[in-house]
Structure formats: C-alpha cells, structure tokens
Structure 1
Amino acid sequence: MAVRLKIEGEMVRGRFLSRKNRFSLLAELADETGKARKFECHLPNPGRLNELLVPGAELLLKPAKDPDRRKTKFDVFAVKAEGRTVVVDSKVPNQIMREAFSSGEVPEFSGYELVRSEPRFGKSRLDFLLQGEGMCLVEVKSCTLVRNGIALFPDAPTERGRRHLSELARAHEEGYRACIVFVIQREGAWSFMPNDETDPDFGAVLRKVAARGVEAIALATKYRKGHVELIGEVPVDLSAPNKVN
C-alpha cells in the first residue's frame, strides 16, 4: 500500500503545558532568540486526548501561514507518546483517504472513483461519495487512542458519530455500499475495537449496523518527516464488549 500524504512546511518542537479548551492549548517553545516562551496553539482535534496531552509531552507544531491574522501562531500536528509520533490533526484522515481514492492503492476500494466530498445524506453530511460497482458512501473517523495494541474509538462520547452510523445503515438499505473507516493515526495498533468503556452506545450502534451490512474498516498510518503513510488494514473486532486496560 503506497499511499503518502505530503505534509507541507517545517515543524517546530514544543512542550505541552495545559489545555485551554477543546481547540487550544498552551505550549512552551523557544522563540527566535532561543528563550523559552509560552504560546497558545490551535488544536485541530476536539477529542479528549487524555493519554497524549500530559504535562511535558513533546509536541510537533506547524507555524501558522497567516500568523498576523490569527490569535494562535501555531497548529498542533502531532504528539510524541511511548516513543511514537501520534498525529492529532483530525483533518489528516480525510486528506489521506482522498489520496487513497485517487491513487486506487487501497484494496478495500479497488475499482471505485471519488465522485465528491461531503455528500449530503439524510440529515448529515458524510465524508465521501464513490462510484464503482454501484455507489458507495464513506464516513472517516480519526483514531488516536491505542491501549495494549488495540486502537479504540471514540475517546469521548459522540452523538454525531452514532448519527453517522445510522445514516450509513439507511444508505445501505437504499442500495448503497456503506463504509465507516477508522484511520489510526499512529503505529503500534494490531487490531481495532469500539471504545465501549467511554461510549457504550457507539459500540452498540456500530455492532448493530455492521450486522445489517455497513462495513467497518480500520487503516493504520505512520508519520515520517514530511509525510503520513498508510500502512495497511488492521482487523476490526466487533465481538462482545470488553474492557481494555
């Protein structure tokens, strides 16, 4: 699987200090003179990220393209955890899946072409509409939480995620191929499970719609300087709920 997403611009390193709200955090990094300073940074991920955002955690930050027009001068791209780089930018999964559809390199979607992004279906906007042997609706989710080699989603209760699953089930009933793709934004995951401990309702709905024909697919990625690469598919375990320590 040779799907790579180029990440433009240079990264700078910082240290996590505290989270201000869902979309911003306080970080420490060196200024132009080398002196340590505190900066408020944009966090493009509303998840809890409790396992990642611990005091002192190393951050990879992207300088803003238009710093004079923004309150924050940096965007948080990734966090170092357990010796691995975990991409937390929640835009990346959709970007790399768009590359995957264009390249035709992902076996799960062989023979399909991208028709458009953000198609409306029911009361929701899903992520992609594809065409191949029929029409295919795809919803993509960013997964950053891994415990004991098991990738888990979500890391916070998600009513929106449950609604998307219900829309996918209805699409399948109307003749679409319907898929939910969990993009694991780190290495070290060998399987995927719904995070029943955090959101048992999401897990229950996922199992229900999968039994009705919605496909659950998990794809792992890795970050290397300058790009994010799809590694390949990992097994999805939808067996009875289990607590993962």
Structure 2
Amino acid sequence: MATRSSPIITDETAEQGLQQAMSAVAAALADPSRVSILCALMDGRAWTATELSGVADIAASTTSGHLGKLLDARLVTCLSQGRHRYFRLAGSDIAHLLETLMGVSMQPQRALVSATPSHLRHARTCYDHLAGELAVEIYNFMQEKEWVVADGSALTALGQQQLESIGMQRDLRSKRKPCCACLDWSERRMHLGGAAGAALLSLLIDKQWLSRTAGYREINVTPAGTKALQRLFCVQL
C-alpha cells in the first residue's frame, strides 16, 4: 500500500525561508513612524495604540496599520486587558536588534562626539536592563573584579555571590540568556544584558537607587543611589 511521503525540506528551502523572514523584518523597519513606535516600546512597558500615535505624531487609524505590520513581522506582541489592547516589544532580542541598528545608523562625527542626548547617554533603559554611561561603568567594574567571565556570557561564582549579597534575584525558569555583553550604542562599549542585566536593573529600582522618568527611557540616580553605586561598583557620578 502506497504511503504519502513527507515534504523534504532542503538547505536551499530553509535558506529561502530565512531570506523571506529577514526581508519582512527589514520592510517593517523601513518606515520612520514604525521605528518611532518601536523606540517608544524600548522602555519595556506596554503602550496603547492611542499613546503610540502621540509618540509617532500620526493619526490613530494610521497607527493601527503600522502596528499590524509590526505584529506580522513579530516585532511586537499585543496584550488584551478588558476593553484595551496594549502593545509591547516581542522580546529582549528585538530591543537588542534596535540598539544595534541605532549604533550602525549613527554617523561618526569629527572627534567622535556622540549625538546622543546627554540625559539618555548617562542612563537609560534598553528594554528591561540598564544602558548608557552608568551601565558601562558598572560592567567595567564587574569585569575588573571578575564577576563575569571574559566573554560576558555568564556570571562567575564570585559575581553571583556578590550580587546575591545585595539582594539580586534571577528568574531561574527564564529561557533567555542568563547573561550577555551588549554593545551600548551611545558608548560603543559593553553593558550587562540578559536575565542578569534585567535582574540588576530591577534590584536597583526596587532599592530606590534608580528611578524611571514616566513615559521615557531616561533613568535617574537618587541621592541614596549615588552613595550605593559608588560603594558597590566604584561608580563616580
């Protein structure tokens, strides 16, 4: 009795599928309004279409069309709560992609002067972890004290012990990278990303050493945080 054969997926077929998927992402990023929406979502929070239309300075009906394309490209996800729909980035890997694109897009100026606004350059969120000068200084300290392995892919036993001693807790159920070195697009140096980066930012905010600026990616250091960061990470503010 003849049986139906399963379709054979060749390397060429897989490559074509990857190329199509990459083209879809590139097309979704090709519009300035959609880029504005994605940048607004990089603070890690969920926004409504109405709020995002204000950020992108476009009509609400136009925003819905842009959000549809971002959903199709799997760059954002939609959460329904009651009568409202909230949109957020599909994950930390999307935030990392956007940060990388920002770095590539910045044209070097004479004397390599950063074009990043000073308040964002100092400290900001990159989805769910800390970025900017402050984050780079903390990461440099962690490297010098051997709290992270050389390539930044994991905390050392010492680093884990030291961070837990000040109250940092990681979600062991998380499937994301436990730790990674992210290239900071304004500083062009590394900061701490992955689950460890998210846990560290959460800790610093919970202890009220850092505070968010509502509706923005900007992060502020509190007076108590100035003393704590200097004591724990030798950060000079």
Which TM class, normalised by the smaller chain length?
Answer: under 0.3
Q: Structure 1 length as normaliser, TM-score? A: 0.24
Q: Which has the higher helix share?
A: 2
Q: Structure 2 length as normaliser, TM-score? A: 0.25
